[in-house]
């Protein structure tokens, strides 16, 4: 992480997350939709609309498929690594890059050539990849979304990026027989684990956010798990 942050405008910010919602939420990998429902116990109901004294919801969420989420090396390494132990950075330097995926067979892929044409590494801690622009979906299951090649991911690692954010459900192909090759390259697992590096998926970067440098606030819920819902926020530099 850069020791000194550049000056940034704390009064202007861009939320690049997608909400967890039981009505308007996103879904990927055939995981169930998120549910948000009032708690019920005996005569108590956690719904003002149903006569309860307050709202008290029970939220069930499949973190990896129901909205923006941040994950750590525990995603491929198991319970020895959890997000609460791995995510130590809150404010970091970031670079937003729009990249045009290339068609490889039946797939759309962020290749090394495509990434190299769009991005010149400049020492940022985080890379925010925009592959879809305003064209986002709510149902990704079974659609074979855009993913990253291992060569492109190696470029990210070689550039010293600690936090990668992307507007797709995964950096890997939807159906890859469990290989998760790009994830493994990013975390250098198992040969040299980058345990403080994170991947954030299913972000949304509106067209109003231009390419270039920012300060990123990487907010993630304190789940004792490999991943948690998150709300990354970009601040423009002064």
Q: What pairs with residue 8 in β-bridges?
A: 237
Q: Is the peptide bond before 190 cis (omega within 30 degrees of 0)?
A: yes
pLDDT for res 23: 81
Report mean pLDDT in 10-residue bins for the chain, 238 residues.
Answer: 86 96 89 96 96 97 97 97 94 97 97 97 95 84 97 98 98 97 98 97 95 96 95 97
pLDDT of residue 3: 67
Those residues whose C-beta lies under 8 Å from the C-beta of residue 175, and which sit 6 or more positions away, are: 144
Angle at 21 between CA 19 and CA 22, to 5 degrees: 165
Which of 171, 168, 214 minimizes the C-alpha distance to 68? 168
CATH superfamily of 67-236: Putative cyclase (3.50.30.50)
- Close Cβ partners of 57 (under 8 Å, ≥ 6 residues apart): 36, 37, 38, 39, 46
Domain boundaries, the chain: 67-236
CB 73 within 8 Å of CB 197: yes
């Amino acid at each position: 992480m850069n020791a000194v942050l550049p000056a940034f405008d704390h009064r202007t910010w861009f939320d690049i997350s997608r909400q967890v919602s039981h009505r308007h939420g996103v879904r990927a990998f055939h995981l169930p939709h998120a549910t948000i429902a009032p708690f019920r116990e005996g005569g108590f109901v956690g719904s003002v609309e149903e006569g309860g004294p307050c709202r008290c919801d029970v939220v069930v969420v499949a973190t990896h498929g129901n909205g923006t989420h941040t994950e750590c090396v525990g995603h491929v390494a198991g319970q020895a690594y959890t997000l609460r132990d791995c995510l130590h950075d809150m404010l970091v330097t970031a670079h937003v890059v729009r990249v045009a995926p290339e068609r490889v067979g039946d797939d759309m892929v962020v290749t090394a050539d495509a990434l190299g044409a769009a991005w010149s590494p400049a020492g940022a801690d985080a890379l925010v990849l925009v592959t879809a622009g305003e064209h986002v979906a709510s149902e990704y299951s079974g659609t074979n979304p855009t993913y990253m090649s291992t060569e492109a991911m190696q470029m990210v690692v070689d550039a010293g990026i600690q936090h990668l954010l992307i507007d797709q459900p995964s950096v890997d192909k939807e159906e890859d027989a469990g290989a998760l090759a790009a994830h493994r390259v990013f975390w250098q697992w198992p040969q040299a684990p980058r345990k403080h590096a994170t991947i954030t998926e299913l972000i949304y970067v509106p067209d109003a956010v231009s390419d270039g440098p920012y300060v990123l606030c990487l907010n993630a819920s304190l789940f004792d798990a490999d991943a948690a819902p998150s709300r990354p926020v970009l601040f423009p530099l002064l």
